Amino acid sequence: MDEIKIDKVIRSHRKTIALVITQDTALVVRAPFFTPLEYIQKLIERKRFWINRKQEEIRKRPIVKPKEFVSGEVFLFLGRSYKLEIVDGLQSDIELRDTLQISRTRLPVAKETLIAWYKERALEKIRERCEWYAKLTGYKPTSIKITGAKRRWGSCGPRGTLNFSWRLIMTPLEVVDYVVVHELVHLEEKSHAKKFWSKVKTILHDYEKRERWLKENKAAVIL
Ligand SMILES: [Zn+2]
């Protein structure tokens, strides 16, 4: 077996060792000041499988560039990819068919137009899914809001309001449902304690898989 290459060791006052795989697949080890290098190497050997898997995951990730709003560019909607098509004389600003059609007149404000459209679709779909799971579970939000949050998929307000990022509408429906259920359960259980996760699991037995999708595809849902 090949020896695993450590790209960097950062020593500090910390008490435990942490392994970090960076975005460019480098292996960085954070360790207490006096940990012998030999000890670190042994630990790395034991974690070989985990390290290889993480590096492989990052290598396989698609490279995501900021959007240019040109014909043929791919946009996500409910987990499916649609090619952008610029159309003359389109009835509305945006229409979703086999392609994502945008009216040529909206091109100078393409980003804003598309975000507004995503927000409307997000509210529609998330409201529908909330109602469905509210019936199933008995947890009912007082209101639902769509936000522009970049890092938080959803949150639960103090008075039973639920907030969701419009970016969620780019993810597959199973993932939308997971975030909806996660926030609905928060109406009952505020913290992420064991009880919280076991409630989520009784509603969505495979929630871990759905949560993993969000972690692994964060970069894909930017605009
Ligand atoms: Zn939560």
Ligand 1 centroid, distance to 135 Cα (angstroms): 20
Task: Tell me the residue length of the chain.
Answer: 223
> Measuring CA to CA, which residue among 136, 37, 122, 142 is closest to residue 77?
122
Ligand 1 centroid, distance to 125 Cα (angstroms): 20
Rounded to two decimals, what is the model's pTM?
Answer: 0.73
DSSP of 142-205: SEEEEE--SS-SEEE-TTSEEEEEGGGGGS-HHHHHHHHHHHHHHTT--S--HHHHHHHHHH-T
> Measuring CA to CA, which residue among 33, 30, 26 is closest to residue 6?
26
Ligand 1 centroid, distance to 182 Cα (angstroms): 6
Ligand 1 centroid, distance to 189 Cα (angstroms): 9
Ligand 1 centroid, distance to 197 Cα (angstroms): 9
Q: Evaluate if residue 223 carries a pLDDT over 80.
A: no
Alpha carbons 89 and 101: distance in angstroms, whole number: 11
Q: Which residue has the higher pLDDT, 146 or 223?
A: 146
Q: Tell me: the pLDDT tens digits for 87-136?
A: 999 999 999 999 999 999 999 999 999 999 999 999 999 999 999 999 99
CATH topology of domain 119-221: Zincin-like (3.30.2010)
Per-residue confidence (pLDDT) for residue 15, from 0 to 100: 94
Query: Helix, strand, or coil here: 78?
Result: coil
Q: Tell me: the pLDDT tens digits for 156-203?
A: 998 999 999 999 999 999 999 999 999 999 999 999 999 999 999 999
Distant-in-sequence contacts of 108-117, Cβ < 8 A, 24+ apart = 110/69, 111/67, 111/69, 111/223, 114/69, 114/75, 114/223, 115/148, 115/166, 115/223, 117/93
Domain ranges of the chain: 8-60, 74-114, 119-221
Ligand 1 centroid, distance to 92 Cα (angstroms): 37
Ligand 1 centroid, distance to 138 Cα (angstroms): 18
